[in-house]
Amino acid sequence: MTKLILGKDVSAEIYAELRERIEYLKSKNVTPGLAVVLVGDDPASQIYVRKKGEMCEELGMKSLIIRMPADTTQDELMAKVKELNEDPAIHGFLVQLPLPKGLDEDAVIEAIDPAKDVDCFHPSNLGRLMIGNPDFLPATPAGIHQMLLRSGIETDGKNVVVVGRSNIVGKPTAVLLLQKGMGMDSTVTVVHSHTKNLEDFTRRADILIVAIGKPRFITADMVKEGAVVIDVGTNRIEDPTSPNGGRLVGDVDFDNVKDKTSAITPVPGGVGPMTICMLMANAVKAAEKASGVKS
Ligand code: GUN
């Protein structure tokens, strides 16, 4: 029987733990504060940012959403980052990506105080992850790790194949699962758009993690019998039968792949909810570190 790994189930466990930590912080007069900066009016970003704010409030954290116009200059954005770096009520913040054309994302990320970098995008935080001594973990890779760990999936010595090499998902997920520790210790291979005979690698995966941004790219013939498949893709495809003319699918051809797997994440409802959850976990951690209050 294939097990469905659902983000709402795994995140519910983590949220319950976070609520206790938040309550303890608040009992010591520390309210964890998370700010999100949104530049411009990208529709997907607006939805993500709204969800992040709502989740903060649901958990009893302070939420600050800063909307800046699409024609914001680099200097204006850098000034906002500096202001948030210096605001003691804000323990963590992020600048939602992508930024409008003309703004330098790398410069913005590097300007964020690493102690407030709850996305874990700053080179210093990614470097700490690389050497196995992280303060924060990037949200989606951390979410994948928690899904594997809390679903009782053995990772020690397993062949993990990561499809995709983005800085947000592919590369940090590979580095994380390579580390020593529970839910890690894997033999990791990263494949990408320039890999020759990519299916030769995916077919050897005990755990296949796909973050390539191509709808239903992984087909049943590319997956080993009994593999665990984690699908990070969220692609909107046209669907005339759907009320709004489209629907979300992953990077994995779920309907045809699922029966071959021992466990799989659906889209939507799989990895998606984990990303916000692990962002909240980073915000709580930032508040604990800054205040020295830890339950
Ligand atoms: N855009 C898409 N995902 C993310 C994320 O996790 N953080 C930020 N800052 N921007 C994003």
Counting atoms of ligand 1 from 1, which one is nearest the CA of 279? 6
Q: Which two tokens stand for residue 293?
A: 């209050």
CA of 226 to the centre of ligand 1 (A): 32
Per-residue model confidence as pLDDT tens digits over 8-49: 999 999 999 999 999 999 999 999 999 999 999 999 999 999
pLDDT score, position 104: 98
Inter-axis angle of helices 7-27 and 139-150, to 10 degrees? 110
Pocket mutation for ligand 1, best pick of 48, 95, 121 (most atoms within 8 Å of C-beta): 48
* 231 within ligand 1 shell (Cβ under 6 A): no
pLDDT score, position 223: 98
CA of 208 to the centre of ligand 1 (A): 23
* 139 within ligand 1 shell (Cβ under 6 A): yes
* 213 within ligand 1 shell (Cβ under 6 A): no
pLDDT score, position 59: 98
| DSSP label of 225 | T
* End-to-end Cα, the chain, rounded Å: 39
Point out the residues that are catalytic.
52, 96, 119
Closest CA to 116 of 102, 136, 133, 130: 136
* 282 within ligand 1 shell (Cβ under 6 A): no
The pLDDT profile of the chain, 295 residues, written as one tens digit per residue, is 899 999 999 999 999 999 999 999 999 999 999 999 999 999 999 999 999 999 999 999 999 999 999 999 999 999 999 999 999 999 999 999 999 999 999 999 999 999 999 999 999 999 999 999 999 999 999 999 999 999 999 999 999 999 999 999 999 999 999 999 999 999 999 999 999 999 999 999 999 999 999 999 999 999 999 999 999 999 999 999 999 899 999 999 999 999 999 999 999 999 999 999 999 999 999 999 999 998 8
Closest CA to 121 of 130, 133, 131, 110: 110
Task: Note the pTM of the prediction, 2 decimals.
Answer: 0.97
Counting atoms of ligand 1 from 1, which one is nearest the CA of 138? 6
